Amino acid sequence: MLTSTAGHADHGPHVPRPLEGCERIVWHPPMHLESRPRVLRWTCECRARVYYLVVGGGRAHIRCADRQREGERETTRMRYTQVENLWLKILLGQAR
């Protein structure tokens, strides 16, 4: 099971380049459905693209903030265990 990111604010793991044939994530424009979203995990802010694992309202999703191109986008809402699996795939370069 994954644990919260250790360290200080804005610092998290670096996401590797995607592996050849990695799973393609379907991204959507931000929906802002939660009244009080909480960011549980994040990747390092030193990169142009930062990923966030967000929970709220009994569901979870991953938000991607790309400061060079697309702006923000996110996955559909799903159960926490599904998001946790997707998060791990992103950190291993198996999904993008």
Residue scoring higher pLDDT (76 or 2): 76
d(Cα 63, Cα 28) in Å, to the nearest integer? 9
d(Cα 29, Cα 89) in Å, to the nearest integer? 21
pLDDT at 3 over 50: no
pLDDT tens digits for 6-29?
445 657 899 999 999 999 999 999
pLDDT tens digits for 27-61?
999 998 888 999 999 999 888 899 999 999 899 99
pLDDT tens digits for 65-83?
998 887 899 999 999 999 9
CA atoms within 13 A on the CB side of 65: 13
Structure tokens at 17: 């380049």
What pLDDT does residue 73 have?
Answer: 96
